[in-house]
């Protein structure tokens, strides 16, 4: 894990889901996926957008890179993950959204975080939007 992400994760956990600096006031969660190749747990700080009462949208922009972030590939390979939002930790099932639903969420994200428009332009790919929905083995 890179040192920047490690510091953000430590600050998030030490401050009950709050992170300062460039993340002050941002909707940030910790996403723990299963590595697509390694099978090991991987935790990454990710900006999210609430969608309704129980869905969270995350955007695989990778800062405008031409490739999607590792967490996206991990979710495609292993859609069950864990999120930490504030002081809550729970399991989710990830699913990629498309069409009007994807476009609606993307427009909301760009309105909330205008930098995402530049990420899309730099990436020269359609940035995937993943929906995270609470999951229970007993559901």
pLDDT value at residue 138: 59
Q: How far is CA 111 from CA 82, 104, 106, 115, in A?
A: 27, 11, 9, 9
- pLDDT digit string, tens, across residues 69-96: 999 999 999 999 999 999 999 999 999 9
**Domain-embedded: residue 9:** yes
Residue 34's CATH number: 2.30.110.10
The model's pTM is: 0.93
- Considering the domain boundaries, does residue 139 fall inside one? no
Within a domain: 31: yes
- Model confidence band, residue 53 (pLDDT cutoffs 50, 70, 90): confident
Which domain range does residue 60 map to? 3-18+26-134
The total number of structural domains in the chain stands at: 1
Is 62 domain-assigned?
A: yes
Alpha-carbon radius of gyration of the chain: 14
């Amino acid at each position: 894990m890179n040192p920047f992400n490690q510091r953000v994760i430590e600050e998030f956990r030490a401050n009950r889901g709050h992170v300062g600096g460039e993340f002050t006031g941002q909707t940030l969660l910790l996403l723990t996926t299963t590595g697509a190749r390694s099978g090991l747990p991987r935790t990454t700080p990710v900006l999210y957008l609430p969608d309704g009462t129980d869905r969270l949208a995350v955007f695989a922009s990778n800062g405008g890179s031409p490739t999607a972030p590792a967490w996206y590939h991990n979710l495609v390979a292993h859609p069950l993950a864990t999120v930490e939002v504030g002081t809550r930790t729970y399991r989710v099932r990830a699913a990629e959204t498309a069409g009007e639903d994807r476009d609606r969420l993307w427009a909301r994200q760009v309105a909330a975080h205008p930098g995402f428009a530049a990420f899309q332009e730099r990436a020269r790919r359609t940035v995937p939007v993943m929906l995270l929905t609470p999951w229970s083995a007993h559901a």
